[in-house]
Chains A and B, each alone.
Chain A
Amino acid sequence: MSAVNIWERMLNIDRRWIFLGIGIVSIVPFFINFGMPVRTTIEVESIYDYVDELGSENAIFISFDFAPGTQAENMPMAVAVMRHAFYNDVPVFMTANWPLHHGMMLAAMEYVFNPTTEGFYQDIDFDDWRELREAGVTAKGDLVDAWESQGNQLPDGAMGWVFEGRDYAALGYAPVFNLVILGMTISIETQYPIDAHENALGEMPMLQEHKSLREVDLTLTCSGSAACEWWITYAREKIGMPVAFGVTAVSATDYFPYLQTGQVIGQMGGLRGAAEYEVLLAENGITSSTDKAFTGMDVQSVAHILIILLIIMGNIAFFAGGFHKKALLKEGR
């Protein structure tokens, strides 16, 4: 076998071997913890700092603008910011710009409210605290005291109570979402008379305090498409609303210009961005540990090392085999 053939074989390696290699290096780190550090970047820190400054008198939007195809990247971002907001008693409005994305919003709530999730929040349905609401008890501290005085106990492991209509509103999907954003700059209730659970928004205490986007302090758009630009176009530019991006890694480079112009306050790019936010939450005692995004970073690092090695090997084979001098490789390359 001549030397050229070895290089050529390297360049024409069956791609299934590469898939197998990626598969193996993506599974092994789940069992052998390499403990690679995740350093936080200013783009993510600025979102964290902004949310951390907010309190119960403020409110944020989390827009679920992603489908199941990118939930591995986008879901941890939404979950991390949702937990941060709940920890600080910041009311959260949740929207979705497409029918499939509506399901992602429900899945995120199910995860954060699920008692089997570490550091879950105990959810109280809108109807369950009707009496207290009608008695005018809506301030978070008073509400928790009144709720617990009725004999309700926070379950073990729960981080706190969240009251539907006071701490969150699942608005969900509405069609022609860019115009919905525009409409919400005037009134949220006209765009969403009822939420995803068919509760009347007009009865929600959080809507009484935040009637339009002008009275909301931030939108985090977790996006697997160009939908995040709608929030810039129709909310940021129209009324100056602060916007933060949580975007997939594939589209992260497309949106860095918005950071440079100051149109967004920060950006989480891909799983790495979500892992950084999880690290910030854990370091500051907001969660007891990191979550799925951070767990995936070891895998990410090892898989990247393999891909870098493959790229280097491919280039060595290409140049050492002299293929840069030939118009085409054999076998149709």
Chain B
Amino acid sequence: MYETIGIWVGAIFTLAIYSFLYKENSIYRLAEHLVVGISAGYGMAITYQITIKPRLVDPLLSGDHWILLIPGILGLLYITRFIPRISWMSRYPIGFYMGTAMGVGFPLTMKARVLRQLEGAMVPLYQSGMAWYEVTGNVVMILGTLAALIYFFFSKPHKGLFFGTGSKIGIWVIMVGFGATFGFTVMGRISLLIGRIQYLLGDWLHVIE
């Protein structure tokens, strides 16, 4: 019973959202606002139920974990944002979180997203035993990386053989990248449509398996 009601609600709101494709209308806006409100409400309920209650409230009520008062109070300071007179107090939890996240994340992020990528770009152009397509791939990757970097080098005018030609090749490399991203984006958007059609025709109308 409840599952059927849920499917009908989902189907009606899917159609309400898709009505925007014809033109902007009040049914679409209602559905849009409901998505935002319900998502926020759901998030708050889940956060309380599976985070705040078992990890903070219950241990505090049991009387064994008074140390949790420190993060609890620190977290509550966020709410002072709503009281202008003492809103400055919200800076403490924000500062604590930012400091911790930066301290913990910076070395690992540098390693994962910068140093490893640099390492990945340092490949041999040719080694004995390498197939021709590997050699071609490595050459294209290294020249492409250099050309794209030249395009984003603004301290010199993009003129001459090195900076001029390099930046032009860089534009082409970037355009190829955008093209690939666009292709994947089209695929992604169609996939989302397919998911909704499967829901409407399958779960709701039962005309497909």
Contact = CB atoms under 8 A, between A and B. Distances in A.
Interface of A: 16, 19, 22-23, 26-27, 30-31, 69-73, 98-100, 102-103, 172-176, 178-179, 182, 193-194, 196, 198, 229, 232-234, 236-238, 248-250, 252-254, 257, 260-263, 269-272, 292, 295-296, 299-300, 303-304, 307
24 contacts: A26-B197, A27-B201, A72-B191, A72-B192, A99-B42, A99-B44, A100-B39, A100-B43, A178-B105, A193-B54, A198-B54, A229-B113, A232-B112, A233-B105, A237-B108, A249-B188, A257-B120, A261-B119, A269-B184, A270-B187, A271-B191, A300-B194, A304-B187, A304-B190
B50 A196 contact: yes
B136 interface: no
Given A102-B50, A178-B101, A249 B184 contact: yes
B190 A19 contact: no
A238 B196 contact: no
B25 interface: no
B177 to A, nearest CB: 7
Nearest to A306: B190
Interface of B: 21-22, 39, 42-44, 46-47, 50-51, 54-55, 97, 100-101, 104-105, 108-109, 111-113, 116-117, 119-120, 141, 177, 180-181, 184-198, 201, 208
B180 A299 contact: no
A233 B184 contact: no
A31 B208 contact: yes
Contact of A307 (B50, B101, B105, B186): B186
Given A173-B47, A236-B112, A249-B185, 9 more contacts: A72-B191, A99-B43, A99-B44, A103-B42, A173-B51, A232-B112, A232-B113, A253-B184, A270-B188
A312 to B, nearest CB: 14
A26 B193 contact: yes
A307 to B, nearest CB: 6
Interface of A is mostly: helix
**Which of B46, B97, B141, B201 has the most chain A CB within a 10 Å cutoff?**
B46
**Which of B100, B113, B119, B184 has the most chain A CB within a 10 Å cutoff?**
B184
B184 A252 contact: yes
Nearest to B186: A307
B190 A234 contact: no
B42 A16 contact: no
Contact of A250 (B188, B193, B194): B188
B130 to A, nearest CB: 16
A172 B190 contact: no
Nearest to A76: B195
Question: When A and B form their complex, which 3 residue pairs have the shortest distance between CB atoms, in order from nearest?
Answer: A72-B195, A249-B188, A261-B120
Given A27-B197, A175-B51, A257-B120, A303 B112 contact: no
B36 to A, nearest CB: 12
A198 to B, nearest CB: 7
A232 B22 CA distance: 42
A248 B42 contact: no
Contacts of A194: 54
A250 B101 contact: no
A263 B180 contact: no
A233 B109 contact: yes
Nearest to B54: A194
A253 B111 contact: no
A257 B120 CA distance: 8
Contacts of B185: 249-250
**Which of B44, B47, B190 has the most chain A CB within a 10 Å cutoff?**
B190
